Amino acid sequence: MVSLPKVWSAPLPLKPPSVTAIYPGSFDPITNGHLDLVQRGARMFDTLIVAILRNDSKLPLFSVEERMDMLREVVRPYPNVQVDCFDGLLVDYAAARFATVLLRGIRAISDYEYELQMALMNRRLRPDIETVFMMSNEAYSFISSRLVKEVYRLGGNISGLVPPSVEARMHSRMQPE
Ligand code: PNS
Protein backbone atom coordinates (compact mmCIF):
# COMPACT_ATOMS: atom_id res chain seq x y z
CA MET A 1 0.00 0.00 0.00
CA VAL A 2 1.28 3.47 -0.90
CA SER A 3 1.40 5.82 2.07
CA LEU A 4 0.85 9.43 1.14
CA PRO A 5 3.07 12.12 2.67
CA LYS A 6 1.47 14.03 5.52
CA VAL A 7 1.38 17.68 4.48
CA TRP A 8 -0.83 19.38 7.05
CA SER A 9 -0.88 18.72 10.77
CA ALA A 10 -4.69 18.88 10.79
CA PRO A 11 -6.70 17.09 8.11
CA LEU A 12 -8.37 19.41 5.63
CA PRO A 13 -12.16 19.47 5.60
CA LEU A 14 -13.88 17.59 2.77
CA LYS A 15 -15.34 19.38 -0.21
CA PRO A 16 -18.57 21.16 0.79
CA PRO A 17 -21.72 20.20 -1.15
CA SER A 18 -21.79 23.67 -2.67
CA VAL A 19 -18.54 25.51 -3.42
CA THR A 20 -18.35 29.26 -2.95
CA ALA A 21 -15.39 31.15 -4.39
CA ILE A 22 -14.33 34.74 -3.76
CA TYR A 23 -12.88 36.77 -6.61
CA PRO A 24 -11.24 39.67 -4.72
CA GLY A 25 -9.70 42.84 -6.09
CA SER A 26 -9.79 46.59 -6.42
CA PHE A 27 -11.78 46.62 -9.70
CA ASP A 28 -11.11 50.35 -10.21
CA PRO A 29 -12.69 49.93 -12.72
CA ILE A 30 -13.63 46.40 -13.83
CA THR A 31 -11.98 45.56 -17.17
CA ASN A 32 -12.87 43.02 -19.84
CA GLY A 33 -10.07 40.88 -18.43
CA HIS A 34 -11.79 40.77 -15.04
CA LEU A 35 -15.13 40.10 -16.69
CA ASP A 36 -13.68 37.19 -18.63
CA LEU A 37 -12.51 35.67 -15.35
CA VAL A 38 -15.95 36.21 -13.80
CA GLN A 39 -17.60 34.41 -16.73
CA ARG A 40 -15.23 31.47 -16.50
CA GLY A 41 -15.31 31.34 -12.71
CA ALA A 42 -19.10 31.33 -12.73
CA ARG A 43 -18.97 28.03 -14.65
CA MET A 44 -16.63 26.43 -12.13
CA PHE A 45 -18.14 27.30 -8.77
CA ASP A 46 -21.64 27.10 -7.37
CA THR A 47 -21.41 30.68 -6.14
CA LEU A 48 -18.86 33.30 -7.12
CA ILE A 49 -18.60 36.45 -5.00
CA VAL A 50 -16.78 39.35 -6.64
CA ALA A 51 -15.48 41.24 -3.60
CA ILE A 52 -14.01 44.75 -3.63
CA LEU A 53 -11.41 45.65 -1.03
CA ARG A 54 -12.79 48.64 0.89
CA ASN A 55 -9.76 50.10 2.67
CA ASP A 56 -7.54 50.32 -0.38
CA SER A 57 -4.49 52.56 0.19
CA LYS A 58 -4.31 53.31 -3.56
CA LEU A 59 -6.37 56.44 -4.25
CA PRO A 60 -9.24 55.02 -6.29
CA LEU A 61 -10.90 56.78 -9.22
CA PHE A 62 -14.32 55.31 -8.36
CA SER A 63 -15.80 54.94 -4.87
CA VAL A 64 -16.54 51.43 -3.61
CA GLU A 65 -20.27 52.07 -4.14
CA GLU A 66 -19.68 53.16 -7.76
CA ARG A 67 -17.51 50.11 -8.38
CA MET A 68 -20.18 47.86 -6.89
CA ASP A 69 -22.81 49.44 -9.17
CA MET A 70 -20.59 48.91 -12.23
CA LEU A 71 -19.93 45.31 -11.22
CA ARG A 72 -23.61 44.58 -10.59
CA GLU A 73 -24.47 45.87 -14.06
CA VAL A 74 -21.97 43.64 -15.84
CA VAL A 75 -22.52 40.44 -13.81
CA ARG A 76 -26.31 40.55 -14.25
CA PRO A 77 -26.25 37.71 -16.87
CA TYR A 78 -24.70 35.33 -14.31
CA PRO A 79 -27.23 34.27 -11.67
CA ASN A 80 -24.65 32.60 -9.41
CA VAL A 81 -22.42 35.70 -9.23
CA GLN A 82 -22.77 38.15 -6.34
CA VAL A 83 -21.06 41.48 -5.69
CA ASP A 84 -19.83 42.55 -2.27
CA CYS A 85 -17.06 44.52 -0.54
CA PHE A 86 -14.85 43.69 2.40
CA ASP A 87 -12.45 45.12 4.97
CA GLY A 88 -9.61 43.43 6.78
CA LEU A 89 -8.10 40.09 5.93
CA LEU A 90 -9.37 38.44 2.79
CA VAL A 91 -9.30 34.95 4.32
CA ASP A 92 -11.41 36.10 7.29
CA TYR A 93 -13.94 37.57 4.90
CA ALA A 94 -13.91 34.35 2.86
CA ALA A 95 -14.50 32.26 5.99
CA ALA A 96 -17.35 34.55 7.04
CA ARG A 97 -18.98 33.95 3.63
CA PHE A 98 -18.35 30.16 3.92
CA ALA A 99 -16.12 30.33 0.84
CA THR A 100 -13.44 27.69 0.38
CA VAL A 101 -11.77 29.11 -2.74
CA LEU A 102 -10.06 32.39 -3.62
CA LEU A 103 -9.99 32.99 -7.37
CA ARG A 104 -7.21 35.10 -8.91
CA GLY A 105 -6.18 35.73 -12.50
CA ILE A 106 -2.63 35.57 -13.77
CA ARG A 107 -1.91 37.61 -16.88
CA ALA A 108 1.83 37.19 -17.23
CA ILE A 109 4.81 35.84 -15.38
CA SER A 110 5.21 39.30 -13.81
CA ASP A 111 1.97 38.72 -11.86
CA TYR A 112 3.20 35.40 -10.54
CA GLU A 113 5.57 36.48 -7.77
CA TYR A 114 3.05 38.76 -6.04
CA GLU A 115 0.25 36.24 -6.47
CA LEU A 116 2.37 33.39 -5.11
CA GLN A 117 3.29 35.44 -2.03
CA MET A 118 -0.35 36.27 -1.37
CA ALA A 119 -1.51 32.69 -1.96
CA LEU A 120 1.09 31.26 0.40
CA MET A 121 0.39 33.85 3.09
CA ASN A 122 -3.34 33.23 2.79
CA ARG A 123 -2.75 29.48 3.04
CA ARG A 124 -0.65 29.98 6.14
CA LEU A 125 -3.44 32.03 7.68
CA ARG A 126 -6.17 29.56 6.69
CA PRO A 127 -5.05 26.27 5.14
CA ASP A 128 -8.68 25.28 4.49
CA ILE A 129 -9.09 28.09 1.93
CA GLU A 130 -7.52 27.27 -1.42
CA THR A 131 -6.31 29.82 -3.98
CA VAL A 132 -7.16 28.88 -7.56
CA PHE A 133 -5.38 30.70 -10.39
CA MET A 134 -6.84 31.05 -13.85
CA MET A 135 -4.75 32.16 -16.79
CA SER A 136 -6.13 35.33 -18.35
CA ASN A 137 -7.55 35.03 -21.80
CA GLU A 138 -4.68 36.02 -24.10
CA ALA A 139 -6.92 38.65 -25.73
CA TYR A 140 -7.01 40.52 -22.41
CA SER A 141 -3.68 39.65 -20.87
CA PHE A 142 -2.23 43.13 -21.39
CA ILE A 143 -5.14 44.97 -19.78
CA SER A 144 -5.01 46.42 -16.28
CA SER A 145 -7.26 48.95 -14.56
CA ARG A 146 -4.24 51.19 -14.07
CA LEU A 147 -3.34 51.23 -17.78
CA VAL A 148 -6.96 51.74 -18.84
CA LYS A 149 -7.15 54.86 -16.63
CA GLU A 150 -3.81 56.16 -17.92
CA VAL A 151 -4.68 55.61 -21.59
CA TYR A 152 -8.08 57.25 -21.11
CA ARG A 153 -6.60 60.24 -19.25
CA LEU A 154 -4.14 60.79 -22.11
CA GLY A 155 -6.88 60.69 -24.74
CA GLY A 156 -6.40 57.11 -26.00
CA ASN A 157 -9.20 54.81 -27.13
CA ILE A 158 -10.29 52.37 -24.42
CA SER A 159 -13.18 50.73 -26.26
CA GLY A 160 -12.96 46.95 -26.09
CA LEU A 161 -10.84 47.16 -22.93
CA VAL A 162 -13.71 47.72 -20.50
CA PRO A 163 -17.45 46.94 -20.73
CA PRO A 164 -19.41 49.71 -22.55
CA SER A 165 -21.23 50.72 -19.34
CA VAL A 166 -17.87 51.24 -17.63
CA GLU A 167 -16.57 53.23 -20.58
CA ALA A 168 -19.60 55.51 -20.27
CA ARG A 169 -18.86 56.06 -16.57
CA MET A 170 -15.25 56.88 -17.40
CA HIS A 171 -16.46 59.52 -19.88
CA SER A 172 -18.65 61.16 -17.25
CA ARG A 173 -15.95 60.97 -14.56
CA MET A 174 -12.74 61.98 -16.33
CA GLN A 175 -11.96 64.50 -19.01
CA PRO A 176 -9.05 63.36 -21.18
CA GLU A 177 -6.14 65.83 -20.97
O1 PNS B 1 -6.91 44.02 -7.50
P2 PNS B 1 -5.76 43.89 -6.55
O3 PNS B 1 -5.35 45.25 -6.06
O4 PNS B 1 -4.63 43.12 -7.13
O5 PNS B 1 -6.30 43.04 -5.27
C6 PNS B 1 -5.49 42.83 -4.16
C7 PNS B 1 -6.27 42.15 -3.03
C8 PNS B 1 -7.54 42.92 -2.70
C9 PNS B 1 -6.66 40.75 -3.44
C10 PNS B 1 -5.33 42.09 -1.78
O11 PNS B 1 -4.78 43.35 -1.56
C12 PNS B 1 -6.03 41.61 -0.52
O13 PNS B 1 -6.42 40.48 -0.40
N14 PNS B 1 -6.20 42.53 0.45
C15 PNS B 1 -6.92 42.25 1.70
C16 PNS B 1 -6.00 42.30 2.91
C17 PNS B 1 -5.31 40.97 3.11
O18 PNS B 1 -5.91 39.95 3.29
N19 PNS B 1 -3.96 41.03 3.04
C20 PNS B 1 -3.13 39.86 3.13
C21 PNS B 1 -3.02 39.20 1.74
S22 PNS B 1 -1.82 37.99 1.73
Express each pLDDT in 47-86 by its tens digit: 999 999 997 678 999 999 999 999 999 999 999 999 999 9
- Select from 22, 118, 132, 143 the residue to mutate for testing ligand 1; criterion: most ligand atoms less than 8 Å from CB: 118
For 132-151, write each residue's pLDDT tens digit: 999 999 999 999 999 999 99
Cα 14 to averaged position of ligand 1 atoms, centre (Å) = 26
Atom of ligand 1 nearest to the CA of 53: 8
Residues with catalytic annotation? 34, 58, 107, 145
For the chain, the straight-line distance linking the first and the last C-alpha, in angstroms and rounded, comes to: 69
Binding pocket residue ranges, ligand 1, CB within 6 Å: 24-26, 53, 89-90, 118, 121-122
The residue to mutate among 26, 55, 91, having the most atoms of ligand 1 within 8 angstroms of its beta carbon, is: 26
pLDDT in tens, 29-38: 999 999 999 9
> What's the whole-model pTM score?
0.94
Query: Is the confidence at residue 43, as pLDDT, over 80?
Result: yes
Q: What is the percent of the chain with per-residue pLDDT over 90, rounded to a whole number?
A: 88
What is the SS3 assignment for 140?
A: helix
The secondary structure of the chain in percent helix, strand, coil, rounded to multiples of 5, reads 40, 20, 40
